[in-house]
Structure 1
Amino acid sequence: MAKKTYRKTVLDNGLVVATESMEGIRSISLGYFTRQGTRDEDPEVAGVSHFLEHMLFKGTRNRDARQIASELEDRGGSLDAATAKEFISVYARFLFEDLELAVDLIGDLVSNPTFPEEELQKEKGVILEEYREFVDSPEEYVFFLLFRALFEGHPLSREVLGKPETIKAITRNDIVARWKEAIAPENSFIAAAGFIDHEELVAMINEKFSFPKNEGTRWSNGEFPKPGFFKESRPALNQVHFSLGVRIPPYSDKRRYPFIILNSILGYGMSSRLFFELREKRGLVYSVTSFLEFYRDAGVFGVYFSLEPGNLDKAYKVLLDELEKVRKNGIREDELKRAKGRVRGSLALSQESSSSRMSRVANYELHKLNFLHIDEVLERFEEITLDEVMEVASEFLVPDNYGIGLVGPESIMNWNP
């Protein structure tokens, strides 16, 4: 029987296998991850990482697309993939007795894709439709504008999907080149959680995964620009979609802990400061939320809401006032206590899911940090003081550091912060 524990092995080729075993469940969640994402692409083929993710499912030397789609589904499991700014992943959730099938399937996708030309041409149409859907979704597109406002000219400003002109221009050779570069074992890792035996998994991965020769890996960094303001109009919209953000330290920085507390106080749920001020007290919005994103060289703290254009000035002033109050006065002891309770409960509940546990293992490995067991994380949150939260608020919640993205009807084109 597997015991609840974390283990990590580095294979001879550099591939990392990290697992957390769980008792009392029958599922396993397992994912292959590469630390190469959108930010590390050649800008001339922007979107090629996302295109590669799609093409992995179009056939291998051992399976056609239908077999890839059905093998785990026919046994009650699931298979999916994702592309982000700093990773590409293929992941699955399945019953523990199907571990060998899942490893064989994911290993086949990663190691033996064929990238058929006829499927590539069809998939261009699919991805272009995905891009159009993204542009037509202001609640998503506004975050692209926010990242431009915070990172314009830096690789983190790039949209995962790419641009229509680059999507249309991507060739099979571009896909193959990106595959060889991205999946190099020294850039990759396997994360798994559930009813799993670590040594058994390592043996299977050694057998099922192989990698092409890597000619070199592009790692894209850059200077951060002065934050700005980007807006676009959508004549058919009735609401303004607004997002304000600020650059903060990366995930590797321990100040992420007080930022998580601050984020909870400002914009987590109906008890948050911003929900009370903008909705309950003034009725300006239906919903408002704050969020955190972390990368290898920076993070983002941000706020999002949507509302009637005529109320934008009022809501923007309330938002700035609340951020300024926190920057100058900090938070209250009762707010800190409630935020710790929310974080504690959320983390504890996530421990019941093999998918959440896999994601947590993957997050530490993605950022090349030592894994912390849940009790260690909870202890760190319990130790956070009012002064720690005050320090990050006073250093980073500075109006000159804010970037803003805005999408709305034509009338908002005259609005400026």
Structure 2
Amino acid sequence: MTEPQISILENGLRVASWALPGLETAAVAVTAETGSRFERPELNGLAHLFEHMVFKGTKRRSARAIAEEMEDVGGQLNAWTSRDTTMFHARLLARDLPLGVDLIADLVSGARFDADDIVREKEVVLQELGEARDTPDDIVFDHLQEAAFPEQALGRSILGDEASLARITRDDLLGWQADHYAPQRLTLVAAGKVDHAELCRLAQAAFPAAAGSNPSPVGDEVRFHPGRHHDARRIEQAQLTAGWAAPGHHDPAQDAALLFTLAAGGGMSSRLFQQVREERGLAYTVSASLQPYVDAGLMSVHAATDPKQAAAARDLIMTVLHETAVGLEQAELNRARAQAVAGLLMALEGPQGASDYLGRSLIVHGRFVPPAELVARIDAVTVDAARAAGAAMLSAAPARAEIGRHKVAA
């Protein structure tokens, strides 16, 4: 696999390409180091609404033209917003890469934000919010995020709510674009059959000249709190989550924390799955995951169980986690290591996974982190280090969010 090439253009745009031999396709994306954690509380949902609104039309293209131009060449165009990143991405034949670059640049820099479109798209987001609220195993994670980071941007919903969406104006969308989508705050990445010089030429032509130098947006300080949220609606299964403060991207313990989390609840062979589901039958779904941010992280456990079994499932989950932190075995660590490495390398075999990795690496670390470097870090984690990372995360009381009519945790 070749090494990526990285350039900074005259307008400040960072351009990175990763040529993957033997392919006739390419994935291209613009990654912005922005998301819901940079919003003001009263405008919660702005980053996500911005992502929606750019697809409603630009100064050069209608919403219909955006869809038709991409699908006329058999390509796929989409976007997503998280708490700290927003990405606009396309997958298409390599010969159509010029269209992909031009179209994505037009979306992020030329959206027109018509008043009527804003009204309609707010209704669409409200429907998305309603769908999330009607999906307990989805919305429970928003509740956990709020319980763990109360009254903080990191704890607020990416979608916003009815009141905050109603407040967002066209000027707010334009301000968000000016503050977060100037070329010098974006990274354009492409992977697959791509020529770096040609990508830079396309980017220079498609993106505007450098804008003013507004201060870089800064998220608020993160403070974990063992909060509680219980939604006592009547549903067939109780949704149980618990979360603990975890290492962020730059914390030396992050790799050990990841392997501990995978060993505890990362798959069918994990301790949680084997003991909670297979041996005791207390849950249909049970898993653990780790979400790192630049300056913080959250390890979480989720289980879906019969409300009558909620207390037993909750107690067993806590027992299993603490036992893993004390008695994690070498074979379990090796299995978790294999999962982490295989997941990484398998994803890199396709243009989409490679472009995602390249963009995330540049945004998080400011440089391309070779996969071999990441694999070496994972390989270096010892049993003692994984146990210590687990014990450190579990040393404080967890935040909890639960949905269902069952007895809540003390």
Fold shared, TM-score > 0.5 on shorter chain: yes
Aligned AA (1:18): A
Structure 2 partner of 1:92:
90
Segment of structure 1 superposing worse, 101-110 or 11-20: 11-20
Summarize the alignment of residues 12-411 of structure 1 with structure 2, pairs less than 5 Å apart.
Answer: 12-210=10-208, 212-213=211-212, 215-235=214-234, 237-329=235-327, 331-398=328-395, 400-408=396-404, 411=405
SS of the residue corresponding to residue 104 of structure 1 reads helix
Segment of structure 1 superposing worse, 314-323 or 247-256: 247-256
Aligned AA (1:224): R
| TM superposition shift of 1:165 | 0.9
Aligned AA (2:347): S
Deviation by residue 1:226-269 (Cα, 9 ceiling, x = unmatched): 3211111223x111111111111211223221122112211122
| TM superposition shift of 1:143 | 0.6
Kept in 2: contact 1:36–1:187 (CA 8 A) = no
| TM superposition shift of 1:216 | 4.0
Matches of 1:44 and 1:380 in 2, distance apart?
41
Gapped regions of structure 2 (runs ≥ 5): none
SS of the residue corresponding to residue 66 of structure 1 reads helix
Matches of 1:189 and 1:376 in 2, distance apart?
22
Aligned AA (1:415): V
2:5 aligned residue (7, 17, 31): 7
| TM superposition shift of 1:393 | 1.4
Segment of structure 1 superposing worse, 95-104 or 185-194: 185-194
Matches of 2:232 and 2:189 in 1, distance apart?
42
Deviation by residue 1:333-371 (Cα, 9 ceiling, x = unmatched): 111222222223222221221111111111111213432
Kept in 2: contact 1:59–1:68 (CA 8 A) = yes
Kept in 2: contact 1:361–1:371 (CA 8 A) = yes
Kept in 1: contact 2:247–2:257 (CA 8 A) = no
Q: How many residues align?
A: 409
Alignment CA distance shift 1:401-1:365 (3 Å): farther
Q: Which aligned segments of 4 or more residues in structure 1 are displaced greater than 3 angstroms?
A: 211-218
Deviation by residue 1:195-236 (Cα, 9 ceiling, x = unmatched): 11112111110110116546444312125143211111223x
| TM superposition shift of 1:26 | 1.3
| TM superposition shift of 1:327 | 2.4
| TM superposition shift of 1:275 | 0.3
Kept in 1: contact 2:80–2:86 (CA 8 A) = yes
Deviation by residue 1:90-109 (Cα, 9 ceiling, x = unmatched): 11011110011111111111
Segment of structure 1 superposing worse, 379-388 or 61-70: 379-388
SS of the residue corresponding to residue 404 of structure 1 reads strand
Kept in 2: contact 1:252–1:369 (CA 8 A) = no
| TM superposition shift of 1:80 | 0.4
Segment of structure 1 superposing worse, 183-192 or 110-119: 183-192
Matches of 2:221 and 2:381 in 1, distance apart?
32
Aligned AA (1:219): V
| TM superposition shift of 1:62 | 1.1
Alignment CA distance shift 1:265-1:233 (3 Å): same
TM-score (norm 2): 0.96
Kept in 2: contact 1:5–1:22 (CA 8 A) = no
SS of the residue corresponding to residue 365 of structure 2 reads coil
SS of the residue corresponding to residue 220 of structure 1 reads coil
